[in-house]
């Protein structure tokens, strides 16, 4: 028997992509009830919930690092399926327990890595992905994983505090508008391509962002961490620009298994004048196909 489809034909006739559905806040009440607090609906398509690790005192290179936490996004599609994806910030003893819970409940683990250089306690981030017809059931599986960690039941909305950081100057240096989130200042860029995972289109700002976090140490000094999303072709120029700015590359890896286009992520670390660092970061980001995301 002759096969009627081969790899070349598959490239010519790619699978039909499924676009996300429009949702409203009330559609996610069951997820909120299971996970313990409200999240944020972005563009009426992706519902994201954060889980701050305020139980941990993370110290890196002599600096207390704030804004450590886990995050999950839920996206509904017209065929009745919901995608759940995100990452979990875990201590090393928690990683093994969470792995076992995720495997037992059918949640895929798509990446495991560090975000920070040498730090205590040692943390790793586990990226997860799952599909299902019942978003509440997905939330219960995620809740089971969180329950074997020290993640506290607190709101994922950070309390705003005065920042000793010139946000407008950072914005001008980066060419984008950021926003204060608790005790840090975050500037985000989104990929300009139509991103997909498992042949399902991801809403803008879901799973494929460049996120830069400025934590003020003094009026003229900040630590910066976060990640830059790049395609393979963008890697060499981005690396050169980061190192010219003396910005450390902590990790370089994928976050997803079947993303289209294929993305890699640089996790970053630097301490210094925030405006100077922002200028160097802008020189790196200009090699990537992104645009500033709305801070709202």
Q: Residue by residue, what is the 3-state secondary structure of 2-42?
A: CCCCCHHHHHHCCCCCECCCCCCHHHHHHHHHHHCCCCEEE
Mean pLDDT (whole number) for 92-104 = 98
| φ, ψ of residue 141 in degrees (nearest 5) | -65, -40
Give the pLDDT score at 83: 98
pTM above the 0.85 mark?
Answer: yes
**Quick one: three-class SS letters along 121-139?**
CCEEEEEEEEEECCHHHHH
Please work out, in degrees rounded to the nearest 5, the angle formed at the alpha carbon of residue 213 by the alpha carbons of 175 and 25: 90
Contact of 108 with 258, CB cutoff 8 Å:
no
Token pair 């500037």 is found at 187
Token pair listed for 99: 């792995």
Burial class (CB in 10 A: 0-12, 13-18, 19+), 151: buried
- Calculate what percentage of the chain has a pLDDT beyond 70: 94
Q: How confident is the model at residue 155 (pLDDT cuts 50, 70, 90)?
A: confident
Question: Taking CA 281 as the corner, what is the angle to CA 276 and CA 286, rounded to the nearest 5 degrees?
Answer: 130
State the pLDDT at residue 261.
97
pLDDT of residue 294: 77
> Mean pLDDT, to the nearest integer, of 215-239?
96
Mean pLDDT over 137-162 rounds to 91
Per-residue model confidence as pLDDT tens digits over 57-92: 999 999 999 999 999 999 999 999 999 999 999 999
261-295 per-position pLDDT tens digit:
999 999 999 999 999 999 999 999 999 999 999 76
């Amino acid at each position: 028997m002759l096969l009627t489809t081969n790899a070349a034909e598959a490239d010519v006739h790619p699978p039909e992509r499924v676009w996300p559905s429009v949702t409203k806040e009330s559609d996610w009440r069951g997820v909120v009830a299971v996970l313990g607090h409200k999240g944020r609906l972005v563009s009426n398509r992706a519902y994201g919930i954060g889980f701050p690790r305020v139980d941990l005192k993370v110290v890196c290179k002599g600096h207390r690092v704030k804004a450590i936490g886990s995050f999950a996004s839920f996206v509904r599609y017209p065929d009745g399926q919901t995608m759940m994806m995100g990452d979990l910030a875990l201590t090393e003893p928690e990683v093994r327990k969470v792995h076992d819970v995720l495997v037992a409940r059918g949640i895929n683990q798509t990446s495991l890595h560090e975000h920070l250089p040498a730090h205590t306690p040692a943390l790793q981030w586990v990226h997860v992905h799952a599909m299902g017809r019942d978003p509440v059931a997905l939330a219960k599986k995620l809740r089971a994983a969180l329950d074997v960690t020290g993640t506290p039941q607190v709101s994922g909305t950070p309390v705003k505090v005065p920042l000793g950081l010139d946000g407008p100057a950072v914005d001008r240096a980066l060419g984008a508008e950021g926003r204060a989130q608790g005790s840090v200042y975050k500037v985000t860029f989104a990929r300009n391509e139509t991103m997909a995972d498992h042949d399902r289109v991801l809403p803008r700002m879901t799973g494929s962002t460049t996120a830069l976090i400025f934590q003020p140490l003094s009026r003229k000094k900040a630590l910066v961490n976060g990640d830059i999303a790049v395609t393979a072709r963008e890697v060499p120029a981005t690396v050169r620009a980061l190192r010219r700015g003396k910005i450390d590359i902590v990790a370089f890896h994928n976050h997803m298994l079947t993303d289209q286009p294929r993305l890699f992520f640089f996790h970053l670390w630097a301490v210094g004048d925030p405006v100077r660092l922002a200028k160097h970061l802008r020189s790196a980001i200009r090699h990537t196909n992104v645009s500033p995301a709305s801070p709202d």
